[in-house]
Amino acid sequence: MPRALTIQRTIVPASERARYLARARQRAEYYAKAGCRFWIFEEAALPGAFIEFTEAKDRGTLSAAHADAPEKPLDAKRIYQEVELT
């Protein structure tokens, strides 16, 4: 089965940055325990503009992890599957 990925964008005010990053660390721990990887990236030219990626080995693992997550992603149903380029 191909890997699966969800993407979420968020804008975080400077006053909320520390809180956002603390919550992101908690999400990363949760997703690691659920068999997923979780990354966040910040736009270089726009501090506070983040994009979050959650990846799993397959769609079922990712769907289950989102369903049980303490903080549900906004659009957990929009799952991207890896496309083989062979």
pLDDT tens digits, one per residue of 1-12 = 689 999 999 999
CA dihedral of residues 18, 21, 22, 23 (deg, nearest 10): 120
Q: Taking the model in full, what pTM does it have?
A: 0.90
Over residues 38-51, the pLDDT tens digits come to 999 999 999 999 99
**CA 16 centroid distance within chain:** 18
Q: Give the span between the Cα atoms of 67 and 44, in whole angstroms.
A: 31
